[in-house]
Structure 1
């Protein structure tokens, strides 16, 4: 598989593949009854009361998706709510096992989402340090990048929020800090799930510029966003997912236009 990822995508295409998704199927198993209570206590209660276990239902979230992403690309993922965009990113990151098909990646994919975990009881400062160390930076690199991360996030523009626990942050502040930490390092594959939707226009401009820099540093960026403007400003290529199936894959201008026409008809 290393040879496949290092080789040109075709006889005339010299680009280097970084992600290969081959006939990917992802299926969720969810409980449709019993209030989702699957603890041992709930099981004992069902035995005592002779109630049946919750009904398990399968949801086919990704259906036969295939594509190749190349080094230096920024790819937008668009589609209706529940179309499978976030599920696809989680599968590429290795967080969801496929029912069928394969995902091959060059390097370690990094998934950044608005719900990415930071430690609420620790200060923003400590989260910056721990987040950077977790991405493989040395202590010296963390010290060198710390001020830039905090400045980029804008969390200290009015008050010294870096010294306060994360639980005191608004959801937008926390999301900006997550993006700032993740964007401080070059990634082989960086996947961003709605993080650019947070913050004011100035932060969005800084974020979009940083995405372009990451792409120029020979990485691959995937961006999930409901903002067509962010997709068009940041990504030259887009993939439109609907009901877990790729409806269109091509230049962002064409894909976004087709999706807007579809959305307007609904």
Structure 2
């Protein structure tokens, strides 16, 4: 059996949402903080409820579910970006989370962002130079001009998302988590992305993919996890889980 890369053990994530104005000034706010009492207009959201699973090397796992089901929150918890309220997450290596809103710098050019993004992932400057042209070509941002030399703020949302994916995909990962990034390109880019996901799996990595596009999960993943209202509803072969989810959404 392949080695496990991620173990989620009864994971719960609860966070607070501020829905109203704060009252009582700084002294009252400090008192609430010290006493751990929620302030006025604050409610707790139980986003992930007792989720347990084990992911293995070589798997591509799709996370599916309706809006607000806890998919992105679970990925952030695996990546260590969202504190776990109860339970444990164990991971092999350093999980890398790629989201459509991943932080690149809008005032810098695409070229500079490729360099900074590569350094942030632990690549050397030599590795970045070797892979730079491949990253730009993969993203397709230069197909209609030299956009790599322009600030990121001039890019469309799709161009920015494609560049983010291209930077992340330039390096092999023990665990790579992709949040909706494959839904932001044309058919040719999606084919390139799916091929790259396959390559990452073949090199003994694990890929998690969050997508509202069930067809993308079917085409890219061999396993799927279905979350609904923070609860794990089903975990199994991608085709079976996607069929059950689609039947559920038709009834809803």
Q: TM-score range by the shorter chain?
A: over 0.9
Superposed displacement of residue 231, structure 1: 0.3
TM-align CA RMSD: 1.5
**How many residue pairs end up in the alignment?**
242
Between the aligned partners of 1:110 and 1:219, the Cα distance in structure 2 is 11
1:94 is aligned to 80
Which residue, out of 162, 165, 169, partners 1:179? 165
The change in CA–CA distance for 1:66 and 1:127 in structure 2 (over 3 A counts) is same
2:15 is aligned to 28
Superposed displacement of residue 121, structure 1: 0.6
- Is residue 196 of structure 1 aligned with residue 182 of structure 2? yes
Name the TM-score, length of structure 1 as normaliser.
Answer: 0.88
1:66-77 matched pairs, under 5 angstroms: 66-77=52-63
Which residue, out of 34, 37, 59, partners 2:45? 59
Between the aligned partners of 1:251 and 1:167, the Cα distance in structure 2 is 40
Superposed displacement of residue 54, structure 1: 3.4
Which residue, out of 6, 16, 21, partners 2:3? 16
Superposed displacement of residue 43, structure 1: 3.6
Structure 2 gaps, min length 5:
30-38
SS in 1 for 2:129: helix
SS in 1 for 2:58: coil
Structure 1 gaps, min length 5:
1-13, 48-52
Superposed displacement of residue 134, structure 1: 1.2
SS in 1 for 2:97: strand
1:155 is aligned to 141
Between the aligned partners of 2:214 and 2:46, the Cα distance in structure 1 is 26
Between the aligned partners of 1:62 and 1:196, the Cα distance in structure 2 is 24
Name the TM-score, length of structure 2 as normaliser.
Answer: 0.93
SS in 2 for 1:95: coil
Between the aligned partners of 1:251 and 1:162, the Cα distance in structure 2 is 40
Runs of 4+ in structure 1 displaced over 2 angstroms?
A: none
